[in-house]
Amino acid sequence: MRLIKRFASYYKPHIWLFILDMTCAFFISASDLVFPMVTRNVINNVIPNKEFNLIYRFAILLAIMYFGRMILEYIVGYYGHVLGVNIEYDMRKDAFAHLQKLSMNYYDNTKTGYIMSRVVNDLNEIAEVAHHGPEDLFLSIIRIIGTFILLLTIDVRLTLVVFTIIPFMFIYMYIYNNKFEVIWKNVRETQAQMNATLEESITGIRVVKSFVREKFEKLKFDNKSSMYKSARSKAVKHIGIFDSSVNFLSNISVVITLAAGGYFISKGLINTGDLVAYIIYISQFLQPLTVLLRFVEQYQQGMAGFRRFVELMDTEPEIADKKGAIELKDVKGNIEFDNVTFSYDNKKEVLSGINLKIKHGETVAIVGPSGAGKTTLLSLIPRFYEIDAGSIKIDGIDIRDVKLSSLRENIGIVQQDVFLFSGTIKENISYGKLDASDEEIINAAKAANAHDFIMELKDGYDTYIGERGVKLSGGQKQRISIARMFLKNPPILILDEATSSLDNKSESIIQQSIDNLSKNRTTLIIAHRLGTIRNAKRIIVLTENGIEEEGTHEELMNRKGVYYNLYNYQQENLTIV
Ligand SMILES: Nc1ncnc2c1ncn2[C@@H]1O[C@H](COP(=O)(O)OP(=O)(O)O)[C@@H](O)[C@H]1O
Ligand SMILES: [Mg+2]
């Protein structure tokens, strides 16, 4: 019921369209009730009294009525679908807006294909129900009740006999309705799984090809695809059973009418015209029943999608602005970790009791073995994840007290894997500042040592870079992401192994642009190759035990501790290579 209420709320903005649709639907079903009554009148009165010109008059009136009905049917067919499409659009818009709000945690645990499936397929089904659902339900109920009342006026007893079958039909539909709920849920679920597998195989196509795992991927996909097939087959089978048995029941009601009507005529309780009207009504009755049946099927199909939509909309973003959150303004860039404890799953603590103070304008390098929690530590500053205990402050203000948008506007992150959007180089650089002028973009590119290589490309700044920038080298992508950062111009900069995957030549070019970028900003650098941060004034060594050492390169070497070992290990391995 709550679900239906929620569903109904989507009609609100289109209430007039909905009323128009329903009003037309009402007149369409009312017009169905007219014909048998006219026939009855013709047989009972017109023919015995030989008033044949009345027939022509009836014919003309009926023709006019059907013409009007044609227009109404056009309105229902067209505007009804417009209504459905509008509702689908609204829901999709809401879903996307909500997805933008959800926290990293949600995306860590949800497959992209699942989300695609919800936003694309599920909502598609909903559009159909949104339009046909209320209309079908309304139409068929009007017709069933209308027929019942009209037949009562002819003969109460025969009507009751004929309608005995109706309650059974409704019970049957009700039972099947519940069955369809499970069936369609399964269809939606398997479809989402299939989409997720598809999405993963396509995204990972380079890995697939390089491992020659096409066959393996085919099997994996086929597995999901056949699960979807079975779910659908099951649904179709039950639609078949349902359709045919409801049709059987309604045919039986025609038989009952004929038999009972014959009996009533033989007893002189009704006349021929009445029986003809009964038979026409009852056989017409099949129509609203089939419509109702289609409704039952479609309703569950759509509701399975809607349920999943609601589930998505009800997923609260774990991290959101608190009430009265303030705008973080004029950031200097002092960062303070005070006894910070964090775990991804509330079980295994990745960081515990971290204390760290970084002054504005300072450049701090963070090193340590892989898996120690370096990336995690820095992703807490833009509040991608919520800490379990302690606090993180920027310029003395707890980051939980400020608006997320203002916090993140002030922090720039350059990662090892650069994500670029499909589009041109210019579009990707201006992602850092959407209203940047061409001049600003070029200046940023120059500062990032990217201008020269961009000018060598076929279309310069207007070159298309392919999905995720596949048409660029790793070093080129990184320089674009740095240019983007120059435009964003944040007071706090985080560099997470920005040069780790690059060869020495690219690395030194990028190192130069990074040095430019970090001027006058608080900069935190996670470095894999210790050589690149030798000159840092402050190096922090993070291990599984937390912050183990801190100092300059010389100080740490003299300590002969973790850093010393790490450094020597790398030097040895470098000489081997
Ligand atoms: N999104 C995540 N969800 C759950 N666990 C994670 C996630 N990211 C990292 N971890 C775990 O947290 C620990 C620290 O990871 P990370 O911060 O990436 O280390 P580093 O950057 O120092 O190599 C690792 O044990 C890793 O498995
Ligand atoms: Mg890392």
Taking the C-alpha atoms of residue 52 and residue 303, their distance in angstroms, rounded to an integer, is 53
State how far the Cα of 372 lies from the Cα of 517, in Å rounded to an integer. 27
Edge-to-edge strands of the sheet including 389-394? 349-358, 335-343, 389-394, 397-398
Q: Is the CB of 371 under 6 A from ligand 1?
A: yes
pLDDT digits (tens, 9 = 90+) for 196-219: 999 999 989 989 999 999 999 999
pLDDT per position as a tens digit, 181-193: 889 889 989 999 9
pLDDT digits (tens, 9 = 90+) for 347-367: 899 999 999 999 999 999 999
pLDDT in tens, 32-52: 788 888 888 888 888 888 887
Atom 8 of ligand 1 has which residue's CA nearest to it?
376
Cβ 369 under 6 angstroms from ligand 1? no
| Chain-centroid distance, C-alpha 383 | 23
Question: Which ligand is nearest the CA of 109, by number?
Answer: 1
Residue 124 CB coordination number (10 Å): 13
Kind of pairing between the strands at 335-343 and 389-394 = antiparallel
What percentage of the chain reaches a pLDDT higher than 70? 99
- Contact between 301 and 184 under an 8 Å Cβ cutoff? The reply is yes
Q: Which residue from 105, 348, 375, 547 has its CB within 8 A of the most atoms of ligand 1, so it is best to mutate?
A: 375
Radius of gyration, CA atoms only, the chain: 35
pLDDT value at 577 more than 50: no
Element (H, E) at 124: helix 123-154
Buried b (16+ CB within 10 A) or exposed e, 529-546: bbebbeebebbbbbbeeb
- For the chain, what is the mean pLDDT? 88
Instruction: Single out the residue of 426, 416, 421 nearest to residue 470, CA to CA.
Output: 421
pLDDT class of 567 with cuts at 50, 70, 90: confident
Query: Does residue 366 have its Cβ closer than 6 Å to ligand 1?
Result: no
Q: Enter the tokens of residue 323.
A: 């009430």
- Say yes or no: CB of residue 108 within 6 Å of ligand 1: yes
pLDDT digits 0-9 by tens, 287-307? 777 788 778 878 888 888 898
Distances (CA, A) of 342 to 89, 335, 394, 397: 39, 17, 18, 19
The reply to whether ligand 1 has any atom less than 6 angstroms from the CB of 374 is yes
Which ligand has the nearest atom to the CA of 417?
2
> Is 169 a residue whose pLDDT tops 50?
yes
Asked if 491 and 521 count as a contact pair (C-beta separation under 8 A), the reply is yes
Q: Is the CB of 113 under 6 A from ligand 1?
A: no
Q: Which ligand is nearest to the CA of 384?
A: 1
Tell me the pLDDT tens digit for each residue of 249-274: 878 888 888 888 889 889 888 888 88
Contacts of 510 (CB under 8 A, 6+ apart): 449, 475, 478, 479, 482, 498, 499, 502
Q: What is the pLDDT of residue 45?
A: 83
CA distance 572 to 138: 80
User: Could you write out the DSSP letters of every residue in 491-557?
Assistant: SEEEEESTTTTS-HHHHHHHHHHHHHHHTTSEEEEE-SSGGGGTT-SEEEEEETTEEEEEE-HHHHH
Element (H, E) at 390: strand 389-394
pLDDT digits (tens, 9 = 90+) for 76-132: 889 988 998 999 999 999 999 999 999 998 999 999 888 998 898 888 888 888 888
Interval 327-352: pLDDT, tens: 999 999 999 999 999 999 888 999 99
Whether 554 shows a pLDDT value over 70: the answer reads yes
Indicate left, alpha or beta for 30 from its phi (over 0: left) and psi (-120 to 50: alpha). Answer: alpha
- Which domains does the chain carry? 2-314 (1.20.1560.10), 321-410+490-577 (3.40.50.300), 421-487 (no CATH)
Q: 283 in helix, strand or coil?
A: helix
Tell whether the model's pLDDT for residue 372 goes beyond 60.
yes
pLDDT of residue 43: 82
pLDDT, residue 229, reads 96
Question: How far apart are alpha carbons 25 and 19 in whole angstroms?
Answer: 10
